[in-house]
A and B are shown apart, each in its own frame.
Chain A
Amino acid sequence: MAAEPKEPRRKDESSPGQAYRDAGPFLTLGIQLAAAVVFFFLIGWWLDTRMETSPAFKLIGLFVGFVGGMIKFLRSAAELSKKEKTL
């Protein structure tokens, strides 16, 4: 016997969750950048220990991870700000 579902709220209307809805896409961007660097660094570390080429692959891993993380970071930031403008 619950009330009928309301229409989804519009963007401009304030509601308790609006702040989280706005901030949500940005919340994990930082962790993702860090995770990318760490992940590729660890791959480099693993390759270094296998091939005894330290520190070549660690440095390559750091660089690749940073580039990849940055591409993702900037792309999602650009995408989200574009979405923000159209609404």
Chain B
Amino acid sequence: MIESQAIIDTLKHAALSAADTIHAPAAHVAAEHGEKFEFGHLLAHMQNSRTLELPGGHIDLPQFPPLHVGSMTIDLSLSKHVFFMLLSALVVAVFSIYAANRNRKNIIPKGIGNLFEVIIVFVRDEVALPNMGPGGLKYLPFMLTLFFFILIMNLMGLIPYGATSTANISVTAALALVAFIMIQAAAIREEGVGHYLAHLTGGVHWSIWPIMIPVEILGLFTKPFALCMRLFANMNGGHIVLLALIGLVLLFRSIIVAPLSVAFSVGVMMLELFVAFLQAYIFIMLTSLFMGFGMQSEHSEEHAEHS
């Protein structure tokens, strides 16, 4: 009974600190100074904040005054997740341009150029072509950009003092929005606006169109929604498990727990490394699969039967 009360208190605190985490960059300091342990202090590490944690202290990220567009207030200030997202974009751009230049010079790719080629060939042969057919080659650059961007963002969180931008639902929602636009654009481009709208009726009798058209339109949104939640939950889940394992040491206030907890953390860390690759792969896999559904209309199915 006492234990369950303690768990409820911990959860309550976690929820409270989640609510005002953006103003509480120094919350974790309390835990380090041997006061009463609160899981929420650890949780603050994985949430968005306006400061950047560094080995010697922390940097306050530059803040801009919010913009007012109509009744909306848009805050374009840098936060920890935005910073790491921009850093990931920069890393992807620099490395891929460097690899491309090197591969142009060398006939046999070496080093980083070779690494990029392996991944690019994999995405082309295992993701783009089987899901979208030969027409999918023109979407290959989009798939590759998405893959490298998500991969680097996932990996950023595994670096000490790093943060995972994809563990923020706004980031995954924006990625899913891009995927949504591409899925619809590919379908419209392949079969024209008329066929695209005809698909929305679901091929049922006209008398139940008022019911089926909203259901079909909802169906368009559920796919990117699932993509968004899947990436967000997978990236967050690993971090929560890690923090819980580390938190055991502080909770028991005993060094005896430490070896076990650290060993498990290392294991989970390995799993997270795998999940970082897997989730980037699954995201583009499903995006190309859904794009493929829209592209495989009547004429492309006929084509498949002849071959």
- A interface vs B, CB < 8 Å? 1-3, 5-6, 8-9, 15-17, 20-21, 24-25, 27-28, 31-32, 35-36, 39-40, 64, 67-69, 71-72, 75
Contacts and interface: CB of A to CB of B under 8 A. Distances in A.
26 contacts: A1-B103, A1-B107, A1-B108, A1-B109, A2-B121, A5-B124, A5-B125, A8-B129, A15-B130, A17-B127, A21-B289, A24-B286, A27-B226, A28-B219, A28-B222, A28-B226, A31-B225, A32-B222, A35-B221, A36-B214, A36-B215, A40-B214, A68-B211, A71-B202, A72-B216, A75-B203
Residue in B219, B286, B289 whose Cβ sees the most chain A Cβ within 10 Å? B219
B6 interface: no
A32 B219 contact: yes
A83 to B, nearest CB: 9
Interface in B121-164: 121, 124-127, 129-131, 133-134, 137
B121 A3 contact: yes
B131 A6 contact: no
B293 A25 contact: yes
B284 to A, nearest CB: 10
Contacts of B125: 5-6
A50 to B, nearest CB: 18
B226 A39 contact: no
A62 to B, nearest CB: 13
Given A2-B120, A72-B215, A35 B222 contact: yes
Given A1-B107, A20-B282, A68 B126 contact: no
A39 B225 CA distance: 15
Contacts of A67: 211
B245 to A, nearest CB: 30
Nearest to B211: A68
A39 B214 contact: yes
B257 interface: no
A17 B285 contact: yes
Nearest to B107: A1
Given A8-B130, A17-B130, A24-B286, 14 more contacts: A1-B107, A3-B121, A6-B129, A9-B129, A16-B126, A35-B218, A35-B221, A36-B218, A39-B215, A68-B215, A69-B215, A71-B202, A72-B212, A72-B219
A31 B208 contact: no
A27 B229 CA distance: 13
B241 to A, nearest CB: 24
A8 B204 CA distance: 33
Contacts of A8: 129-130, 133-134
A31 B208 CA distance: 21
Contacts of A20: 282, 285-286, 289
A29 to B, nearest CB: 9
